[in-house]
Structure 1
Amino acid sequence: MADEALLLWGVVFSSLGLGYFIYGKKQGAPVPLVCGLVLMVYPYFISSTLVLVALGMVLAAIPYFIRL
């Protein structure tokens, strides 16, 4: 069951990362661009569902709180 959860959450956060990446690229905003790249890549290196979700939520919230 944990493998399916990892796969599902990885797809969710990677999709969100793709949206951030496209937005950051079009707007020239570095914070969403970098967060988008990290969100798309980090699920490959995390093997715990809890860590994956916690880190994904933090990375998804960073562009909201940090605006450059």
Structure 2
Amino acid sequence: MDTALLVSGLVFSAVGIGYLVYGRRQSNMAARWSGFALILYPYLMTNVYTMIAVGVGLMLVPRFVDL
């Protein structure tokens, strides 16, 4: 289960870097903060299913929130 935790953390952090870069270039604060959160939150998670749920939720924030 530790391998799944590491791989999912790597995937969500990579997506977070993409969101952060996109948010900076487009001046989109929701994408920027979601990217920042996606980069940092895997350090706090100990359960794979919780990590996936939080990650998907953070990835959907820029879609529904306009800052």
Structure-2 separation of matches of 1:28 and 1:53: 27
Q: Which runs of 5+ in 1 are unaligned?
A: none
Output the amino acid matched with 2:16. Answer: G
Using the TM superposition, give the Cα deviation of residue 64 of structure 1 relative to its aligned residue in structure 2, in angstroms: 1.1
Identity of aligned residues (%): 37
Question: How many pairs were matched up?
Answer: 67
Residue aligning to 2:10: 11
Runs (4 or more) in structure 1 with deviation over 4 Å come to none
Structure-2 separation of matches of 1:46 and 1:66: 24
Structure-2 separation of matches of 1:24 and 1:39: 13
SS in 2 for 1:67: coil
Using the TM superposition, give the Cα deviation of residue 34 of structure 1 relative to its aligned residue in structure 2, in angstroms: 0.2
Using the TM superposition, give the Cα deviation of residue 66 of structure 1 relative to its aligned residue in structure 2, in angstroms: 1.4
For 1:7-59, what per-residue CA distance to the aligned partner results, in whole angstroms no more than 9, with x for missing partners?
01001100100000000001111000000000000001100001000000000
Output the amino acid matched with 1:65. Answer: F
Task: State TM-score, norm by structure 2.
Answer: 0.95
